[in-house]
Amino acid sequence: MRNTLAPKQTQYKYYSRLRALAITALICTAAVALIIIVESALPGNTSNKQSTFVSDKIQSIISGAHAPVDSAKFNLFIRKFLGHFMIFAALGAGLSACSFLLIKPRAIYPLTSAACATITAFLSEALQLPVFNTGRVASLTDVQIDITGAICGILFFSLLLCAYILIKRMASQKKYRLLKAVFVNAHAKTLFGRCGKIIATETCQYKRSYPQKTI
SS3 137: coil
What is the model's pLDDT at position 2?
A: 46
Torsion of CA 176, 178, 184, 190, to 10 degrees: -120
181-192 tens-digit pLDDT: 766 666 565 655
The span from the CA of 65 to the CA of 59, in Å, is 8
Please say whether the dihedral angle defined by the alpha carbons of residues 155, 87, 100 and 167, taken in this order, is positive or negative. positive
What is the model's pLDDT at position 159?
A: 94
- Which is more confidently placed, 88 or 173? 88
The span from the CA of 143 to the CA of 120, in Å, is 9
SS3 116: helix
- Angstrom distances, CA of residue 142 to CA of 87, 116, 126: 12, 16, 11
- Which is more confidently placed, 81 or 34? 34
Least confident of 45-54, 67-76, 166-175: 67-76
CB 97 within 8 A of CB 105: no
Residue 17 one-letter amino acid? R
Close Cβ partners of 77 (under 8 Å, ≥ 6 residues apart): 55
Would you kindly state where each structural domain of the chain is located, as residue ranges?
Answer: 16-173
Number of residues assigned to the chain:
215
CB 110 within 8 A of CB 96: yes
The span from the CA of 54 to the CA of 39, in Å, is 14
81-122 tens-digit pLDDT: 888 899 999 999 999 999 988 888 888 999 999 999 999 999
The fraction of the chain above a pLDDT of 70, given in percent, is: 67
Count of Cβ atoms closer than 10 Å to residue 162 Cβ: 10
Please say whether the dihedral angle defined by the alpha carbons of residues 189, 190, 191 and 194, taken in this order, is positive or negative. positive
